[in-house]
Structure 1
Amino acid sequence: MPSRKNTPPLGPIRKFTITEEKATFRSRQGTLDVVFLKDDVVRLRAVKKGQNEPARSFAVIPTGWDKPETRITVRGDSVILATSNLSVRISLKTGRIRILSADRTDLFRNAEIAWSGAGVGLIWKMPKDRHIYGTGERTGPLDKRGTRMAYWNTDRSGYPVEQDPLYQSIPFALCMDGPRAHGFFFDNTFRQDWEFSPLGKTKAKMTADDGALDLYVMASGTPSAVLERWTELTGRMSLPPLWALGYQQCKWSYYPESVVRDIADQFRQRSIPCDVIYLDIDYMDAYKDFTWHPERFPDPPKLVSDLRDQGFRTVVMLDPGVKVEEGYDVYETLKQAGFVVRNADGTPFIGPVWPGDCLFPDFTDAACREWWGKWYKGLLDLGVAGFWNDMNEPAVFDAPGHSLPLDAVFSGDGYPGDHRRFHNIYGMQMVRGTTEGLRALRPDQRHFVLTRAAYAGTQRYAAAWTGDNCSDWPSLRISIPMLLNFGLSGQAFCGPDIGGFAGTATPELFARWLQVGALYPFCRTHYAAAPQSGHPDINAVPTQEPWSYGDEWEEINRASLELRYKLLPYLYTVFEEITRTGMPVMRPLFLQYPDDPKTACIEDEFLIGSDLLCAPILDEGRYSRELYLPKGLWYDYWSGECLEGGRKITASAPIDVLPLFARAGSAIPTQDVVQHTREAVNKPIVWQVWPDSGFKAIGTLYEDDGETLAYTRGDFKRTTLTLSGTKENPETSLQHEGGYTGRPQEIVIAA
């Protein structure tokens, strides 16, 4: 890592120029460009002298922002560039940088760019009491002060709770100085390493193994405003199909067809809500993409159609490795087209994954992405609803680093480079090809794609899960800060494998995990029954379905999923909010209450939207817990008891109870329990209204057809409910927007 002692910094500025587009500072070591993109967003890009680094990004998209008015001042040996919300001071004498917000908060103080060989880094000082969040997919605490972290997508099955790095790299941080927020994004796809000193100290640094220092700083004031800018910069998720918000059941693997049918029948016979059943790799013929195993699944169209008739959507897995096999059409067309990852000598790279020796498509080539996307036609035509892109770090068996060689060559969409540059975006570009292909094949349909590997901006193409976690209590506990930081990093449609992937969940662990998992944005149980179970019959090993633990536990698990389906109108409304504001579904308390310092490090409770607070049980044998309610009034969701916030309380939590609270002054749209999302059509919306101390409340409901893009053409309905009056004489009004008919609505005042 660069340090001031052993690496050349940017150093004294020999020349600077100012144009309408940017300010450029040149030293003996390199060049620094400063560009204000908006009054509260600035980009600093430093390139070492002699380095030819293309100024492009896989993460950043056109924003349509108006260029801000910028003031330029030369004061002593410094040049100051400023807008109404942000200023950048460059020392001509030292090349050091200071970035301040409008209220004079030091965002980056005494910052120094330094190079070490091809690597580049930034070292700076920060306030002793700053909190840092986001940083993508991370184990560990919510606040990342006192941590070191790497950005290098890594396949680690059954990972421990201290594992770093993991599958996804999103080098974005949301920083809080008291109630004031700013964010920064180091847009560099090479391996990065970050280090933040603990609270009470001031040192911070981040480095990349190669490439440019490309830093975006957002000084938007509130954390929600920073997230709005961040998701404008890198894009927001599209509104998913409604069924993708339902419960999803997965196993490695459900086969043959009779097992899949039995799982579906069990859900319906036991009246346990579920919308999705997954087929893991064993549905394929010899693990070959876009194939079906002829004995295990002799009639895929009928199976998928029958499942659809029962209210289930089918999601299938596809991996990037394409089996080397003469006569296999996917391999033959890929080999003929030639857009494959290559060795340094130009020959195609061949490496072992599940099918054996494989070619790896070069998804950094637009032609390859188009080729890949077209293969989904057959699966769409037979009714498959969603697609799971796995192993896309990319993972390679028995290889150094469990991935491609670092000198493997990619096309880079016209900017060729090696695996060091493109490793972290391989998964992103794979799901880009998937999603763009699906959109081309079914242009008016919404699509569901799930990925394991990602880079910043992947939310434009896919949902994400946290990979191959473990069936243990520590893994349940870390799922909360992991998902909160994921959402703060832009990837809001996320979740872990409920119950844990590796190992066997106890009845209590699974029940507690499903209780909180029913409120995860992405709600899927997934577990491994092969081949690491070591059992000759994969269908004889312990199972992890909601009914796997006996009648008493089945009743508890059914109730957890019924809560999710009851709250689906509210959840869907919060998902629609993401597409407009970038605010995540699952929110840390500080995001909604930045003025309350007690919320800064709370990582074992969270908000769903702005109106529901969940404080799950995360430890074995616990039947009550202490929790913090933010300022204001809150209602116990189950008893209706009104509680004063701004303090800690102790909540009772017997094994069948999830501590859940509704914010006073909210109106939450719900529905009666259904077994799958298609059953909800034309059934009434039931507003749960929770009045504040002045007997006022307000809430929003969003509705559309849940399937198509008609909502983008105005075919939606947004309803705002307002409560006023008194308990004895309540007055409610419903205001509607949009052209969609919507469902009938009922109002229940909870207190």
Structure 2
Amino acid sequence: MRFTDGFWQLREGVSALYARKAHDIEAKDGRLVVTAPTKVIETRGDTLNRPVLTVTLSAPIEGVIGVLIEHHTGGRIHEGFDLPGLDPTSAAGVASLDASGGTLASGDLVARIAAGEGWNLSFERAGTVLTTAEEKSVALLDVAESVALDGQLEDQLRRHRGGGSQRYLHQQLNLGVGELVYGLGERFGPLVKNGQSIETWNADGGTSSEQAYKNVPFYLTNRGYGVLVDHPGHVSFEVGSENVERVQFAVAGERLQYYIVSGDTQRDVLERYTALTGRPALPPAWSFGTWLSTSFTTDYDEQTVNSFIDGFAERDLPLSVFHFDCFWMREFNWCDFEWDPRVFPDPEGMLRRLHERDLKVSVWVNPYIGQRSPLFAEAAGQGFLLQRSDGTVWQWDMWQAGMGIVDFTNPDARRWYQDKLRALAAQGVDTFKTDFGERVPLDVRWHDGSDPEGMHNRFAQLYNEAVFEVLQEREGQDAVVFARSATVGGHRFPVHWGGDSASTFASMAESLRGGLSLAFGGFGFWSHDIGGFEGTPDPAVFKRWVAFGFLSSHSRFHGSRSYRVPWAFDEEAVDVTRVFSKLKMRLMPYLYQRGVEAAQTGTPLMRPMQLEFPDDPSVAYLDRQYMLGGDLLVAPVFSETGEVEFYLPEGEWTSLLTGERVTGGRWLRETHGYQSLPLYVRPGAVLPWGARDDRPDYDYHDGLQLRVFPGGAGRRSITVTSPDGTARTYTADLEEPTE
């Protein structure tokens, strides 16, 4: 939301009242409470007929400081996100006052509020100023009905709020020279967010738009801090755009809460952020293997399924999971959670036969109930579907005719939905693809009275959590879902995939940008549709995407109206799939351990270069390459010719595929065939190399090799954790590079 007309003026129809000074500062219960008049108080009469803002500083956990800005406190308050690390009964901060103002220390992070005229709130770490909020940074704004709002979304929200004048609060935080901003969820544009306007509002817009399925109002910068806006509704960000010296975030209403999260590096910031919002669960080892899908709207039956599975076996292609997309249920019945008896007359027998072939089974679900589904009347009659203000069921015809939406704020509706999934799990279903969850309406009332705007993004969290719980209940099985929509905390329920991409090189690149951007929000495990979703890729796109797909945390073949079995493209596609799927199986001791690390620390498995090389300015803008764990650099090929340009940081790197040693600290241009790509091992790495190439879930200690690469010295210890939880530490001598 833009409020200004250039640097000097407000837009016509916009009025703003700014926090002008810290009139008084109180220190109590480990907090600072600041009364901030919106006028410089010169006489006692200036205290009359004048709004004030109350700014409260708190410290929920060490290294984190919360800022709450309030105007009127008697109105409806947006509930914040579910933050498992937040304990409202404890205070990690030390508040103090002196003649210059107040300070709140939370570990090595310190907030300072200056007393007297001139609003000045600064955040420091180890004596270094991270960012500041100065004059005109905190504002209470009224936007007249006559003002043309920025975009369709703002117009929609204005109508929902009742039209008329709209009230907002905004905070601006200064950007330093050379300071770069990352994150804000899954965004498909440039990885560096400076200069962008971003609306955090979940939408089903594909990967080629400014919309996103996974909106996370958290960003971090290259200056040792991040910012979480604790507002599950619409948050409007202007990142060095409206005011190029500042990041601005604005919300509608009378209350704005955000947290400053500090750390030595961006990885440290993520560790603290995930301590606050929760750590990702560790997916089971089998989930790291190949997922094969029926695709979206294709025709298939058990014979089709078996032909695909046989085709993989005959061609010596590892396969771990078979996924049934939407037409496992009868058309117009989505969802009734019943196998279509016309094509699957014996689902229990079929699932048993798939398990006998050592496969896991995934089925597609969504949170909607079509009117033709036998479950619609059942759910509507018990009040389990979202309702309009008049008590009727909210329905529309987009997606499924007359569909309603399950109200997960109703505990009975949640259990009802979960019971349908439990029945499928009892049949033999191992996991669920939790599709959709973005098109959540505003003209509804929720069972628990939640504000519809605040529930729009949170719905995805409730939906995925409900499904994840069902899978966690199964004795002896770790839970994993394949989820599309998410918001803050969604990373606790992996895995997420990048949504509907086109079958082109450009879309392949934008998918990677989305995944890297999402990683800055603590999402440890991420996937994408190999070959792209919309359309049918030509063989070149498919083969290049295969290499990228198997060098991601999770690997799934999936499309829209056409199959994605490799032999549907050409025989070389089969060879490429064999090479890279077997390579991933060999890498499983390494990949699974990096997954353990993600679950323990919040550091994602697929890492933007900026997380691993924070002191190398050359990586600041890189979004066509990434680190797979800490020791493997991957640069996917986004061209038919095989030409690729990438950057190697300092040191002597080794190609994992050829053994060639290359000196880093420079850009390289290479040309690769379809069975190759830039895949370089970090200097001095010790890579645990598995003994099997046919499956992901084996005993990694049995036959384990340690591949030692040049560039280090002395001895290095690494830990390898097997799928059964057995962890062992191995030591390698880096002075004598061997394999």
Judge same fold: TM > 0.5, yes or no: yes
| Equivalence for 1:183 | 226
| Equivalence for 1:525 | 557
| Equivalence for 2:371 | 324
Partner residue of 1:130 out of 166, 170, 179:
179
Cα distance change on mapping 1:553 and 1:39 into 2, 3 Å: closer
Q: How does 1:269-668 map to 2 (within 5 A)?
A: 269-285=314-330, 286-325=333-372, 328=374, 330-394=375-439, 403-404=440-441, 406-412=442-448, 416-440=449-473, 442-529=474-561, 542-623=562-643, 625-668=644-687
- Tell me, yes or no, if the aligned pair for 2:27 and 2:95 is still in contact at 8 Å: no
Deviations 1:386-414 (A, max 9, x none): 101112113xxxxxxxx52x2311134xx
| Equivalence for 2:60 | 37
Deviations 1:715-751 (A, max 9, x none): x222222222853xx8xxxxxxxxxxxxxxxxxx32x
- Tell me, yes or no, if the aligned pair for 2:199 and 2:235 is still in contact at 8 Å: yes
Distance 1:457 1:52 in 2: 26
Q: CA deviation at 1:563?
A: 1.3
| Equivalence for 1:260 | 305
Distance 1:680 1:57 in 2: 43
| Equivalence for 2:286 | 243
| Equivalence for 2:728 | 719
Q: CA deviation at 1:680?
A: 6.2
Cα distance change on mapping 1:53 and 1:89 into 2, 3 Å: farther
Deviations 1:610-632 (A, max 9, x none): 11111221123234x33222122
Distance 1:62 1:461 in 2: 16
Q: CA deviation at 1:121?
A: 1.6
Q: CA deviation at 1:84?
A: 4.9
Distance 2:102 2:671 in 1: 60
Question: Does structure 1 residue 676 correspond to structure 2 residue 676?
Answer: no
Distance 2:103 2:720 in 1: 47
SS of 2:231's partner is coil
Q: CA deviation at 1:494?
A: 1.2
| Equivalence for 2:138 | 112
State the one-letter code of the partner of 1:60. Answer: L
SS of 1:417's partner is coil
Distance 2:600 2:657 in 1: 31
State the one-letter code of the partner of 2:421. Answer: Y
| Equivalence for 1:222 | 265
SS of 2:128's partner is coil
Q: CA deviation at 1:649?
A: 3.2
SS of 1:230's partner is helix
Report which stretch shifted further, 181-190 or 695-704.
695-704
- Tell me, yes or no, if the aligned pair for 2:519 and 2:604 is still in contact at 8 Å: yes
Distance 1:104 1:726 in 2: 39
Partner residue of 1:209 out of 245, 248, 252:
252
Cα distance change on mapping 1:273 and 1:337 into 2, 3 Å: same
- Tell me, yes or no, if the aligned pair for 2:593 and 2:720 is still in contact at 8 Å: yes
Distance 2:28 2:312 in 1: 65
Distance 1:11 1:49 in 2: 17
Q: CA deviation at 1:113?
A: 3.8
| Equivalence for 1:737 | none
Deviations 1:123-157 (A, max 9, x none): 23211310111111101111111111111111124
- Tell me, yes or no, if the aligned pair for 1:569 and 1:671 is still in contact at 8 Å: yes
Deviations 1:545-598 (A, max 9, x none): 222222223212221211111211211111011111111101122211211111
Cα distance change on mapping 1:388 and 1:262 into 2, 3 Å: same
| Equivalence for 1:22 | 31
State the one-letter code of the partner of 1:68. Answer: A
Cα distance change on mapping 1:32 and 1:55 into 2, 3 Å: farther
Deviations 1:659-708 (A, max 9, x none): 11112322212224433335668852232222435364443211132xxx
| Equivalence for 1:93 | 117
Cα distance change on mapping 1:97 and 1:418 into 2, 3 Å: same
SS of 1:144's partner is coil
Q: CA deviation at 1:211?
A: 6.2
Deviations 1:483-529 (A, max 9, x none): 11211111121122121100111111111111111111121121111
State the one-letter code of the partner of 1:137. Answer: E
- Tell me, yes or no, if the aligned pair for 1:31 and 1:49 is still in contact at 8 Å: no
Cα distance change on mapping 1:693 and 1:665 into 2, 3 Å: closer
Partner residue of 1:49 out of 60, 66, 72:
72
Q: CA deviation at 1:199?
A: 13
- Tell me, yes or no, if the aligned pair for 1:141 and 1:481 is still in contact at 8 Å: yes
Deviations 1:147-168 (A, max 9, x none): 11111111124x42xx112111
SS of 1:357's partner is coil
Distance 1:596 1:492 in 2: 23
Distance 2:118 2:212 in 1: 37
SS of 1:221's partner is coil
Distance 1:470 1:619 in 2: 15
Cα distance change on mapping 1:567 and 1:432 into 2, 3 Å: same
Aligned residues between the structures: 685
| Equivalence for 1:172 | 218
| Equivalence for 2:163 | none
SS of 2:559's partner is strand
| Equivalence for 1:534 | none
- Tell me, yes or no, if the aligned pair for 1:700 and 1:720 is still in contact at 8 Å: yes
Distance 1:233 1:223 in 2: 15
Question: Does structure 1 residue 196 correspond to structure 2 residue 196?
Answer: no
Cα distance change on mapping 1:145 and 1:726 into 2, 3 Å: closer
Partner residue of 1:232 out of 272, 275, 278:
275
- Tell me, yes or no, if the aligned pair for 1:172 and 1:186 is still in contact at 8 Å: yes
- Tell me, yes or no, if the aligned pair for 1:142 and 1:481 is still in contact at 8 Å: yes
- Tell me, yes or no, if the aligned pair for 1:9 and 1:29 is still in contact at 8 Å: no
| Equivalence for 2:191 | 142
CA RMSD for the aligned pairs?
A: 2.5
State the one-letter code of the partner of 1:662. Answer: V
- Tell me, yes or no, if the aligned pair for 2:652 and 2:710 is still in contact at 8 Å: no
- Tell me, yes or no, if the aligned pair for 1:277 and 1:314 is still in contact at 8 Å: yes
SS of 2:287's partner is helix
| Equivalence for 1:734 | none
- Tell me, yes or no, if the aligned pair for 1:466 and 1:495 is still in contact at 8 Å: yes
- Tell me, yes or no, if the aligned pair for 2:185 and 2:215 is still in contact at 8 Å: yes
SS of 1:38's partner is coil
Cα distance change on mapping 1:693 and 1:34 into 2, 3 Å: closer
| Equivalence for 2:149 | none
Q: CA deviation at 1:325?
A: 4.7
Question: Does structure 1 residue 152 correspond to structure 2 residue 201?
Answer: yes
Distance 2:254 2:434 in 1: 28
Cα distance change on mapping 1:552 and 1:718 into 2, 3 Å: same
Q: CA deviation at 1:654?
A: 2.2
Cα distance change on mapping 1:390 and 1:20 into 2, 3 Å: same
- Tell me, yes or no, if the aligned pair for 1:174 and 1:182 is still in contact at 8 Å: yes
Q: CA deviation at 1:69?
A: 4.9
SS of 1:515's partner is helix
- Tell me, yes or no, if the aligned pair for 1:701 and 1:718 is still in contact at 8 Å: yes
